[in-house]
């Protein structure tokens, strides 16, 4: 959504103020770029994967092979990600089926960090007008927003992400207001999933207490001396149907790229201690297509086949590629979940 830039020294209501620069510094005329790339339906792919697993793994032979998930060896955690990997993680020779006991079996996420431990801010240093300690405080805030938006159990079950919203600068035109409105009344162009991960508790519940997290955070001096923070994280959510006694586990994979800025309040209209959102892009793997009710809708093997999709096949664990700037969004299939 494009927003008109305001001129130097103007308030939101166009009156003069004491600022020496623009009342709100828009990047390329946008207060925030909101893109939704792929809402990926995978029901057919999941069924196919189940058939392959049964065919090549009769009697769950893979659980008896050391070194494989579900076998005798424990998967070694990955080191922290400090740069984009060169390729997608390799496929398992005998992919396991997720269970309530091992919800990440057969997934590269088995080696990801648990929850907030996977969001590791880089070591701070002074940037522009901000001291090392001030930069460190901003990085902690960025982590707090990501945690509340994507890992807080209350947010995941559809409650209001109060802590994340409170960190968004209320002086950033429209952004905080838009997010509140989308949460209150979701729709195709009012989708809170663009920033928050939410499941309908009447439909699914978590399969265990752990969400796996993988990604990195960087920072630099941006335009006009602003502190620019870039976050790129993948979250893996194992879920089971909400019905009592349900046991089939599936996973939804969400990748988010979020950019924050902290501007000089003596030059721009900005609230000290708050974050401006300049970009938030996302990919959703294993969620029903063309549903805009503000919730992710994972597909299960025992459910009805999802709609036939014509988009490209995507590996949701491939973090070697940048998210494209496709603003239209489309459905495709995933190679694995």
pLDDT digits (tens, 9 = 90+) for 184-242: 999 999 999 999 999 999 999 999 999 999 999 999 999 888 999 999 999 999 999 99
Please give the Cα distance from 285 to 298 (Å, whole number): 9
Distances (CA, A) of 319 to 88, 97, 166, 232: 6, 23, 29, 9
At 308, is the secondary structure helix, strand, or coil? coil
User: Is 82 among the domain residues?
Assistant: no
Of all helices (H) and strands (E), which one includes residue 45?
helix 43-56
On the question of pLDDT at 68 being above 90, the answer is no
DSSP string of 164-211, one letter each residue? HHHHB-TTSTTHHHHHHHHHHS-BTTB-GGGT---B-TTTEEESSS--
Can you read off the two tokens belonging to residue 55? 């065919």
Predicted TM-score (pTM) of this structure: 0.81
The beta strands (E) that lie in 14-148 are given as: 33-40, 113-114
User: Is 15 among the domain residues?
Assistant: no
Q: What is the mean pLDDT of residues 292-305?
A: 86
Q: CB–CB of 331/309 below 8 Å?
A: yes
Could you read off the pLDDT of 251-284 as tens digits, one per residue?
Answer: 999 999 999 999 999 899 999 999 999 999 999 9
User: Is 174 among the domain residues?
Assistant: yes
Residue 323 — very low, low, confident or very high, per pLDDT cuts 50/70/90? confident
Q: How would you classify the pairing of strands 204-206 and 33-40?
A: unpaired
Higher pLDDT, 65 or 243: 243
**How many domains would you assign to the chain?**
1
Please give the Cα distance from 112 to 13 (Å, whole number): 47
Q: What is the mean pLDDT of residues 132-142?
A: 98
User: Is 102 among the domain residues?
Assistant: no
For residue 21, give the nearest of 259, 272, 263 by alpha carbon.
Answer: 263
User: Is 321 among the domain residues?
Assistant: yes
Contacts of residue 10, Cβ cutoff 8 Å, sequence gap at least 6:
16, 17, 22, 23
On the question of pLDDT at 290 being above 50, the answer is yes
Higher pLDDT, 176 or 37: 176
Q: What is the mean pLDDT of residues 114-139?
A: 97
Considering only 1-5, 24-28, 171-175, 333-337, which range has the smallest mean pLDDT?
1-5
pLDDT (0 to 100) of residue 4: 29
User: Is 12 among the domain residues?
Assistant: no
User: Is 3 among the domain residues?
Assistant: no
Mean pLDDT score across all residues of the chain: 81
User: Is 267 among the domain residues?
Assistant: yes
* Full domain range(s) for residue 157: 33-57+111-334
């Amino acid at each position: 959504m494009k927003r008109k830039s305001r001129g130097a020294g103007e308030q939101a209501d166009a009156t003069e103020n004491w600022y020496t620069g623009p009342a709100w510094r828009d990047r390329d005329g946008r207060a925030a770029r909101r893109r939704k790339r792929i809402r990926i339906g995978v029901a057919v792919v999941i069924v196919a994967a189940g058939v392959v697993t049964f065919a090549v793994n009769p009697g769950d032979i893979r659980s008896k092979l050391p070194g494989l998930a579900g076998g005798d060896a424990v998967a070694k955690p990955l080191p922290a990600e400090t740069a984009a990997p060169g390729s997608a993680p390799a496929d398992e020779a005998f992919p396991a089926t997720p269970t309530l006991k091992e919800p990440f079996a057969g997934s590269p996420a088995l080696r990801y960090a648990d929850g907030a431990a996977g969001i590791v801010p880089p070591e701070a240093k002074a940037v522009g007008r901000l001291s090392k300690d001030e930069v460190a405080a901003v990085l902690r805030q960025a982590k707090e927003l990501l945690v509340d938006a994507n890992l807080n159990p209350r947010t995941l079950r559809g409650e209001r992400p109060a802590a994340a919203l409170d960190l968004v600068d209320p002086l950033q035109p429209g952004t905080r207001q838009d997010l509140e409105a989308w949460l209150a009344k979701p729709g195709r162009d009012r989708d809170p999933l663009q920033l928050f991960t939410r499941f309908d508790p009447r439909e699914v519940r978590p399969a265990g207490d752990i969400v796996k997290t993988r990604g990195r955070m960087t920072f630099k001096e941006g335009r006009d001396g602003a502190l620019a923070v870039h976050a790129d994280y993948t979250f893996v959510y194992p879920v089971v149907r909400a019905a009592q006694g349900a046991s089939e586990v599936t996973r939804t994979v969400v990748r988010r790229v979020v950019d924050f800025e902290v501007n000089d309040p003596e030059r721009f209209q900005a609230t000290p201690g708050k974050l401006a959102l300049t970009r938030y892009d996302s990919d959703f793997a294993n969620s029903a297509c063309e549903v805009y009710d503000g919730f992710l809708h994972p597909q299960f093997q025992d459910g009805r086949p999802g709609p036939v999709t014509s988009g490209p096949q995507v590996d949701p664990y491939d973090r070697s590629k940048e998210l494209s700037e496709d603003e239209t969004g489309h459905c495709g299939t995933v190679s694995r979940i």
